[in-house]
Amino acid sequence: MMYRVPLVFTPQPEGGYTVSSPVLPELITEGDSLAQAQANVRDAFEAVVELYADLGRPLPASIMLPAQGEVVWTETLVSGT
């Protein structure tokens, strides 16, 4: 299943980025670069999904994608040349 999760990439003074989500406060990860931080989000999200399942909590409805065939709007990080 796919989800649309808002993410905040916060630069750290020592370098790298910490990633959090305003709708999933348990989602925290980091990386030495934006690309690495973004790549680490999948594992962090999977851990949050498992935590919610263990606690019997549903994921927020706001991160669910619309029914198949409907328009999906999202943003992503893309590196350019």
Least confident of 1-15, 41-55, 65-79: 65-79
59 lies in some domain: no
Strands (E), 1-79: 8-11, 17-20, 28-31
Task: Kindly state the tokens that stand for 43.
Answer: 């594992």
* Residue 67 domain-assigned (yes or no): no
Domain hosting 16: range is 8-54
Asked whether residue 29 is domain-assigned, the answer is yes
Is 60 contained in some domain? no
Alpha-carbon gap, residue 1 to 65, rounded angstroms: 9
Residue 66 belongs to some domain of the structure: no
State the pTM of this model. 0.85
Given this model, what pLDDT does residue 60 score?
Answer: 95
Domain assignment present for 63: no
Q: Does a structural domain hold residue 23? A: yes
| Residue 69 within any structural domain of the chain | no
Q: pLDDT (tens digit, 9 = 90+) per residue, 8-41?
A: 999 999 999 999 999 999 999 999 999 999 999 9
pLDDT, averaged across the chain: 92
- Cβ–Cβ < 8 Å for 2, 65: yes
Q: Which residues does 36 contact at the CB level (< 8 Å), separation at least 6?
A: 16
Per the CB < 8 A criterion, the answer to whether 69 and 8 are in contact is: no
**In whole angstroms, how large is the CA radius of gyration of the chain?**
14
Query: What is the number of structural domains in the chain?
Result: 1
